[in-house]
């Protein structure tokens, strides 16, 4: 806007037919227009940057006194000053040397103000009135008295001012920005250009006070700004200020954003007589900048804050804690079911699921809470001035809200669940990264403990301390593989019908013998093995050991032996696993029909095409397959058409309560019936009592596995007789 104002000034200054020079307060030449150069015969580059009296040598003390007094009045009074007439000869240089020309001038010195209201420059306007003093043919002066001279000068000045006024109006009309002039304490419109009318709407303005012409500005603060500038004489600059206009009679108010300057108009005595208004409508640019700013701070998928903006909010909240006796709470939320939705139904479904979760979380938090999507299926929530107890209730409510979600995509129904890590902190807190890391660690532990739960961070929590040391597992597991300290255990699977037969069937389980000889349960090291990509190596180790045992005991000629061996999700992505299995069986003399490989439902569905291809390859050799933890993914039976499995192992979450919960009993019976129709046999996990075993047998489950049937024991110790 200021650049536009400068351009307008330069157009008026240089194109004017009147002679102007622009001076600093210490009388150095800043600029000179063409009319002045023609009048005085100088070159522009020869005068710029030089002192006024150096360019125009003073012919006498009187002339210098008159000019210096005029400039002093301009600087001290901040008002225009005139000299009538000024006898001031000027000097020219030609082939004859310096030639003085006798000249008479009309001089007007005008102050130009900076944004602080100080005189920044002096505009010096001179008119050559020498001809008024020339003698006629009879040797007489053209005017008889000084009064006649001044009267003639006034006529000339009024003519020049009229010309300038017309030129100024033309420039103002053509200006790309809006321009208006208000006079008097009521700010009565004296002038408004086309751009101003386009801004406020076509209405009568000229001759009306601003409060009458623009009544909708009442209460928006603009009347008060005008009054302030008028009374103080100091300009006001506004940047992208919102303003409401009624551009048509009876129409609703329209919001625009404007950059503008209110510049006071001073009279000769230094009083303010009006206000010059200039500016631009920057609504489109402002809205674009707001849009870009919003995009930079918000997640495009959910509309929530992004990780960067969340970090800034967290940083500010921590700064606000300084010296205060208050507590903030922070949650790290990680969805448990997102990968299943994304991998089963594609990224479009995953995106819609994330949008739905974002809406659920937003609906269950306050507008003042800071909610963000941190990336992937992870969210963050900052609760300021919220103690741990209150935050715990909120976290539990959020967990339940997500748990109640039912997401339907192409006739498939998915449930939702979320693991939440919660940390509460007061002053002092070192930095946002520590707070977020603590919440993340607690969220990790919530997943390790079974997911779909809230875990509160405590420094003394031994489980979290173990999480920080988890990186040690990578080296420990590699060492355990080399030293063969991963040991095989077995748990029997038996038919639930009376015709049990003589074959023995066991599932292979693994344990880790620690450096100190203490046996480590699988859930203490398998998550770390999965995270650090060691499960394929462990699976191959187990397959070799199990095949070796099976081959040795099958040669003894005792009862038929069958083993179930688990394959991890990471191993399913191993392109060479099928050839490894077939070659190991051939080398050790194991009949494929004696082996059933188990994969979890979640791992299978995560990459349905790859899993189906792998099962097909391995089954060609004669091996069997079981789908473990069936029902845990809240999926339909539809994908079973693409997975040629021989067994469904029903998730223990349904088996545990089959006696007391009719819904669980109905679920188990439905799975058994559908599996039977598809030619798939069923295995119930977690059979913990004789009563559960009897119910399962009655509703049609084929096999059972659990402590009521057999407790796991080392593979080398199991009985080969059922």
Residues involved in catalysis:
377
Burial status of residue 645 (CB atoms within 10 A of its CB: 0-12, 13-18, 19 or more)? buried
**Which residues lie below 8 Å from residue 438, measured CB to CB, with a gap of 6+?**
330, 421, 423, 425, 457
Question: Strands, E, within 504-567: which ranges?
Answer: 504-513, 519-520, 561-566
Where does 230-317 show beta strands of DSSP type E?
A: 236-245, 254-266, 272-281
Question: Any alpha helices (H) in 412-534, and if so which ranges?
Answer: 432-448, 462-468, 472-482, 526-531
Distance separating alpha carbons of residues 471 and 465, to the nearest angstrom: 12
Quick one: CA dihedral 265, 266, 267, 272, positive or negative?
positive
The CB density around residue 558, as the number of other CB atoms within 10 Å, is 12
Given a contact cutoff of 8 angstroms between Cβ atoms, the answer to whether 56 and 90 are in contact is: yes
Distance from CA of residue 561 to its chain's centroid?
A: 60
- DSSP state, residue 717: G
Angle subtended at Cα 238 by Cα 236 and Cα 242, rounded to the nearest 5 degrees: 140
Count of helices and strands (H, E) across the chain: 26, 29
CA–CA gap between residue 453 and residue 333 (Å, rounded) = 10
Best CA proximity match to 650, nearest among 447, 493, 488, 419: 493
Check if the beta carbon of residue 230 is closer than 8 Å to that of residue 238: no
Q: What are phi and psi of 412, to 5 degrees?
A: -105, 140
DSSP code for 532: T
* Residue 565, SS3 per DSSP: strand
- Quote the CA–CA distance of 591 and 547 in Å, as a whole number: 9
Q: Are 127 and 121 in contact (CB under 8 A)?
A: no
Residue 410 backbone zone (phi > 0: left; psi -120 to 50: alpha; other: beta): left
Q: How many CB atoms lie within 10 A of CB 70?
A: 19
Residue 74 buriedness (CB in 10 A; 0-12 / 13-18 / 19+): buried
Q: C-alpha distances in angstroms, 377 versus 147, 324, 338, 634?
A: 91, 34, 7, 18
Terminal alpha carbon distance of the chain: 93
CB of 233 closer than 8 Å to CB of 264:
yes
Residue 105 contacts residue 127 (beta carbons within 8 Å) = yes
Detail the DSSP E strand segments found in 166-266. 178-183, 188-192, 236-245, 254-266
Please check whether residue 420 is in contact with residue 454, taking contact to mean a CB–CB distance below 8 angstroms. yes
The rounded distance, in Å, linking the Cα atoms of 603 and 627 is 10
Q: If residue 155 lies in a helix (H) or strand (E), which one and from where to where?
A: helix 146-174
């Amino acid at each position: 806007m200021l650049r536009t104002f400068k351009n307008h000034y330069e157009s008026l200054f240089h194109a004017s037919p009147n002679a102007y020079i622009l001076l600093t307060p210490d009388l150095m030449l800043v600029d000179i227009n063409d009319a002045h150069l023609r009048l005085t015969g100088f070159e522009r580059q020869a005068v710029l940057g030089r002192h006024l009296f150096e360019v125009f040598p003073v012919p006498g003390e009187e002339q210098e006194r008159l000019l210096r007094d005029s400039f002093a009045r301009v600087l001290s009074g901040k008002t225009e000053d005139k000299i009538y007439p000024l006898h001031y000869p000027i000097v020219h240089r030609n082939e004859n040397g310096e030639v003085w020309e006798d000249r008479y001038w009309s001089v007007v010195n005008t102050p130009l103000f900076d944004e602080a209201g100080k005189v920044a420059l002096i505009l010096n306007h001179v008119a050559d009135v020498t001809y008024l003093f020339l003698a006629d043919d009879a040797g007489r002066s053209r005017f008889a008295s000084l009064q006649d001279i001044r009267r003639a000068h006034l006529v000339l000045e009024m003519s020049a001012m009229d010309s300038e006024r017309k030129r100024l109006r033309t420039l103002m009309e053509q200006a790309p920005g809006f321009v208006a002039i208000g006079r008097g304490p009521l700010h009565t419109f004296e002038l408004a250009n086309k751009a101003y009318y386009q801004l406020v709407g076509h209405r009568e303005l000229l001759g009306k006070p601003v409060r009458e012409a623009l009544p909708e500005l009442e209460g928006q603060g603009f009347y008060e700004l005008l009054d302030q500038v008028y009374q103080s004489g100091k300009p006001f600059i506004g940047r992208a200020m919102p303003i409401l206009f009624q551009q048509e009679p009876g129409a609703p108010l329209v919001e625009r954003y404007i950059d503008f300057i209110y510049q006071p108009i001073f009279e000769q005595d230094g009083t303010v007589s009006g206000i010059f208004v200039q500016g631009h409508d920057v609504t489109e640019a402002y809205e674009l900048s707001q849009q870009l700013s919003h995009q930079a701070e918000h997640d495009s998928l959910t509309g929530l804050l992004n990780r960067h903006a969340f970090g800034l909010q967290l940083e500010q909240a921590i700064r606000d804690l300084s010296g205060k006796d208050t507590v903030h709470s922070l949650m790290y939320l990680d969805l448990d079911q997102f990968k299943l939705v994304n991998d089963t139904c594609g990224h479009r479904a995953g995106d819609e699921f994330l949008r739905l979760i974002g809406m659920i979380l937003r609906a269950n938090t306050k507008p003042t809470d800071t909610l963000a999507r941190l990336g992937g299926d992870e969210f963050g929530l900052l609760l300021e001035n919220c103690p741990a107890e209150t935050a715990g209730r909120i976290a539990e409510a959020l967990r339940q809200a997500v748990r109640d979600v039912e997401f339907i995509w192409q006739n498939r129904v998915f449930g939702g669940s979320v693991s939440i890590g919660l940390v509460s902190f007061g002053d002092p807190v070192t930095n946002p990264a520590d707070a977020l890391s603590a919440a993340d660690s607690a969220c990790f532990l919530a997943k390790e403990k079974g997911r779909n739960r809230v875990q509160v961070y405590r420094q003394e929590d031994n489980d979290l301390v173990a999480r920080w040391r988890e990186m040690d597992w990578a080296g420990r597991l590699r060492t355990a593989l080399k030293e063969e300290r991963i040991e095989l255990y077995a748990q029997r699977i038996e038919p639930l019908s009376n015709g049990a037969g003589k074959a023995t069937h066991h599932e292979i389980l693994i344990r880790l013998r620690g450096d100190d000889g203490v046996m480590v349960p699988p859930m203490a090291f398998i998550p770390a093995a999965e995270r650090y990509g060691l499960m394929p190596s462990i699976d191959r180790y187990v397959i070799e050991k199990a095949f070796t045992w099976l081959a040795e005991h099958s040669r003894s000629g005792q009862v038929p032996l069958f083993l179930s061996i688990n394959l991890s999700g990471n191993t399913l992505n191993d392109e060479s696993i099928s050839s490894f299995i077939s070659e190991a069986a051939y080398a050790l003399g194991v009949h494929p029909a004696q082996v059933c490989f188990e994969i979890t439902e979640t791992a299978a569905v995560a990459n349905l095409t790859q899993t189906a291809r792998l099962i097909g390859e391995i089954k060609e050799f004669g091996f069997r397959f079981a789908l473990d933890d069936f029902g845990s993914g809240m999926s339909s039976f539809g994908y079973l058409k693409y997975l040629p499995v021989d067994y469904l192992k029903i998730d223990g979450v349904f088996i545990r309560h089959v006696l007391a919960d009719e819904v669980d009993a109905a679920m188990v019976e439905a799975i058994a019936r559908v599996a039977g129709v598809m030619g798939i046999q069923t295995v119930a996990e977690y059979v913990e009592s004789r009563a559960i075993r009897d119910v399962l047998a009655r509703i049609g489950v084929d096999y059972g596995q659990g402590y009521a049937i057999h407790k796991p024991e080392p593979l080398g110790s199991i009985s080969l007789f059922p």
